[in-house]
Amino acid sequence: MNVRFGGSAATLLDELGLAPRLTVYLAFAPGAGKTRRLLEDALSLQRDGKRVVLGWIATKGRPELDALAALLPRVPPRKVKIESAVSEEFDFDATLALRPQYVVLDDLAHANAPGSKHTKRWEDALALRGAGIGVAGALNVENLDSVATAAEDSIGRAVREIVPTEFLRAADHVIAMDVAPEQLEARLRSEACLPPQKLRFLREMMLRIVNELSVSGVLPRKASTLIALATGDGDLKTFLQKAASFSEALDLAFDVALVGERDVDALAALTRDVDGRVVPIESFDPKRPRFGALRASLVSVPFGPLARRIATSPAERDVLIVDPTPFAEAPDRSMSFSRYAQTAADRMRIGYGKLTIYLGAVPGSGKTHAMLERAKQLREAGVDVVGALIETHALPETEAKLGDLEILPRRAAGRPEAGELDLEVLLKRRPAVVLIDDLAHTYGADTDQAKRFDLVLQVLRAGISVLTTLDVQNLEGLNDAVYRLTGQRVGETVPDDILEIADEVVLIDTTPETLRERLRAGKIRRFASDSALANVYRTENLSALRELALREVVHARGERKHWPFARLALGVKARERDIGLIERCARIAQRLEVDFTVVHVAGPGVSALTTALEEASRRVRARWRTVAAKDFATALVAAAQEEGATTIAVEGTRHKPLWPLGVPFARRLLDAGARQLLILAAD
């Protein structure tokens, strides 16, 4: 096992999973599975040799939860007499005397009885961690002080037990307990339950809070953040709106920094309006801009003097130069950018199956477990459910989850992709719901489908609902972000559109430390521990991938946006590396939902590389255009304007130019009249 030494002893203990941690499981409603998750994770720690006790658990008489709780030692509750009634409370002092490594503490919003060590149970949790004992607890989002008022308006009742949001900020980990609202409604049908639309409101609040609390420890240049430098050039509101829409489309957090003397209060108000945050900026000289200390993978500036200086310098980061003039009329867009426009329309038909995607950060997040748990609930409700393809990877815990679920036979030997899902068998069996694992899997060249999701679409069209799993790193539009974080290209990808046609996208949230512990224990498929821990499974990379997963789930169910970018035009040269540039810009255009044109400005004649560039453009469904001219910058700006492109993309210079012999191409584009420019740093 590779271990990175350095830093404080506390940092090393945390890296090894030995430091006491406070983990809070945050749900958007009762019944989301908090108690089950608490018990299952506690049992996993116990199997790994940790001393775990139940400080307080609320099973509410559910037999399956009582059975799990019986497998763990419990701290006897403290008897409290109030007038003539006797109740039970968590015994803080008895827990301290036992000195366990971990304590399970359910219902953190609970107000303790008079005479208790602390007023609230969440205060017990903080005190236990302070005493060197790890704590796992649970909480509903409506109990947070920052949510309670809005929650009361939605749920129509008072929220009586309040927990400060700062408590979550003090926790080491906050895990989102996500579940489809319809699933929760069905689970609680025998009890009072909020309608799906109100559950969706609380669910979005939960996901947004967890997203805001997620802070990854990645290097500044790798941070999944767009930082907008407010210089005062042009209209500030327009600049922030355009920069914020770009960050949202690319799943980047949005920070704003003040450059120069400006109205700080006005900036803060405008930043709040676009769901951003104002951050301090240090050691940044606008006359000699350097981005080394900026925590962002993309820097945005308004068109103006600073933009010109940045365009003249080597490209340290991706840079978006924004035209800070008011929005033009939104372009008339069809769904031509979507490869699944017809599928999205078909889903409106009666009889089309429903698609539920369990989304995680990386393999090992628990997606297959969650899918199997849902299948069990459906079967108990009388739904006809079968497993067509479930990847257990010979892991005992996963195989145990199968239970007596009916598993369909796979393709027979001698047929293409033997051992894969057999569509004929599935359609003949025709269940109501089918489980098909690993949506991004790529088939061999001799099969009818290139990807498993193509086959899943056929199953949906046949009226069969599908439960499936996906890692956020397999989304095509995030390929560059994943490469930036991990240094590895993901080979198996699915188009981002697949999340839009899904009926539900459910986040399976897991801490980086838990994932690393599962990896060490051999519970994660595909990866050899040493190499994985050194790359994808580094704590900072796992944290960053988790942020991407959270944002994808938030955006997947949101309203479709019309970004202020009518068309993207990319300028390329006759060089091999520009093929990768075309593919990269195509992914950006797909996320922005805009059309894409590749412009090659060249002299007479066609080279083999030119042909390769044109073929690459066709593969990504980009419009190809060749322009012959001596002044490349002026010709590219003119061609982009003719194409209706509001933004020109170009690769930034890799080296400082040798003055006065050369001027970087990005700067020449600005001088030629370009006002909105995307400068891409070389990989």
- Round to whole Å and give the CA distance between 474 and 467: 17
Looking at residue 300, what is its pLDDT? 96
For helices 577-592 and 608-619, give the axis angle rounded to 10 degrees: 20
Q: How confident is the model at residue 357 (pLDDT cuts 50, 70, 90)?
A: very high
CATH number for the domain formed by residue range(s) 9-174: 3.40.50.300
User: Is cis: bond before 660, omega within 30 of 0?
Assistant: yes
Mean pLDDT of 531-557: 78
**Average confidence (pLDDT) over 348-372:** 87
Q: What share of the chain is helix, strand, coil (3-state, %, to 5)?
A: 40, 20, 45
Quickly count: other Cβ atoms within 10 Å of residue 334's Cβ: 7
For residue 17, what is the DSSP state? Answer: T
Using CA atoms, how far residue 204 sits from 68, 207, 472, 554, 558, in Å, is 30, 5, 18, 7, 9
Q: Which residue has the higher pLDDT, 22 or 1?
A: 22
Per-residue model confidence (pLDDT) at position 495? 86
Conformation bin of residue 449: beta by default, left when phi > 0, alpha when psi is -120 to 50 = beta
273-277, 431-435, 506-510, 631-635, range with greatest mean pLDDT:
431-435
Q: In what order do the strands lie in the sheet with 173-177?
A: 52-56, 102-105, 134-140, 22-27, 173-177
Region 534-563 average pLDDT: 76
For the chain, what are the domain ranges?
Answer: 9-174, 220-322, 341-507+545-556, 567-680
For 567-680, give the CATH class. Answer: alpha beta
What number of residues does the chain have? Answer: 683
**What is residue 241's predicted lDDT score, i.e. its pLDDT?**
92
Per mean pLDDT, which range of 242-251, 291-300, 533-542, 546-555 is the poorest? Answer: 533-542
Per-residue confidence (pLDDT) for residue 285, from 0 to 100: 82
Please provide the average confidence, as pLDDT, over all residues in the chain.
84
Q: Output the pLDDT for position 19.
A: 78
Region 25-50: mean pLDDT is 90
Alpha-carbon span 122 to 109, nearest angstrom? 6
Do strands 253-258 and 225-230 pair parallel, antiparallel, or not at all (unpaired)? Answer: parallel
Does the pLDDT at position 334 exceed 50?
Answer: no
What would the DSSP string read from start to end of 44-89?
HHHHTT--EEEEE---TT-HHHHHHHTTS-BPPPEEEEETTEEEEE
Under the banding of pLDDT at 50, 70 and 90, the label for residue 565 is: confident
Of 541, 535, 534, nearest in space to 3 by CA: 534
> What pLDDT is recorded for position 456?
92
Orientation of helix 236-249 relative to helix 264-273, angle to 10°: 40
The per-residue pLDDT for 12 is 45
**Which of 92-101, 327-336, 355-364, 413-422 shows the lowest per-residue confidence on average (mean pLDDT)?**
327-336
pLDDT digit string (tens) for 248-294?
A: 888 888 999 998 777 788 899 999 998 898 988 877 888 888 888 88
Check residue 105 and give its pLDDT: 96
DSSP for residue 149: H
CA 64/CA 33 separation, integer angstroms: 12
Determine the pLDDT at residue 529: 46
Q: Give the DSSP letter string of 218-262.
A: --GGG-SEEEEEE-S-S-HHHHHHHHHHHHHHTT-EEEEEE-SS-
> pLDDT (tens digit, 9 = 90+) per residue, 153-205?
777 788 889 999 999 999 999 999 998 776 666 655 544 456 667 777 788 88
pLDDT at 614: 93
**pLDDT at residue 593 tops 90:** no
pLDDT at 527 over 90: no
Measured distance CA(680)–CA(243) in Å, rounded: 16
Q: What is the mean pLDDT of residues 333-356?
A: 62
Q: Going by C-beta distance under 8 Å and a sequence separation of 6 or more, which residues neighbour residue 130?
A: none
Q: What is the pLDDT at residue 333?
A: 47
Give the mean model confidence (pLDDT) for residues 620-640. 91
Average pLDDT over residues 376-405: 89
CB 541 within 8 A of CB 490: no
In this prediction, residue 470 carries a pLDDT of 95
Residue 346 has pLDDT above 70, yes or no: no
% of the chain exceeding 70 in pLDDT: 84
Predicted confidence (pLDDT) per residue in 46-84, tens digit: 988 999 999 999 998 889 999 999 999 999 999 888 777
Q: Is the pLDDT of residue 448 over 80?
A: no
Q: Same fold for the domain at 9-174 and the one at 341-507+545-556?
A: yes
pLDDT digits (tens, 9 = 90+) for 454-488: 899 999 999 999 999 999 999 988 888 888 888 87
Give the Cα separation of 222 and 229 in Å (integer). Answer: 18
Q: What is the 3-state secondary structure (H, E, C) of 409-421?
A: CCCCCCCCCCCCC
Q: CA-to-CA distance for 76 and 55, rounded, in angstroms?
A: 8
Residue 409 is predicted with a pLDDT of 92
Find the distance separating the first CA and the last CA of the chain, reported in whole Å.
29
Q: In terms of CATH, what superfamily is 220-322? A: HUPs (3.40.50.620)
Give pLDDT, residue 222.
79
36-55 as b/e, with b when 16 or more CB fall inside 10 Å?
bbbbbbbebbbeeeeebbbb
Query: Considering the domain 341-507+545-556 in this protein, what is its CATH number?
Result: 3.40.50.300
What confidence tier does 114 reach under pLDDT thresholds 50, 70, 90?
confident
Judged against a pLDDT cut of 60, whether residue 3 lies above it is answered with: no
Q: Which residue has the tokens 């199968």?
A: 402
Residues with Cβ < 8 Å from 362, sequence gap 6 or more?
Answer: 471, 473, 515, 536, 537, 542, 545
User: Is pLDDT larger for residue 358 or for residue 413?
Assistant: 358
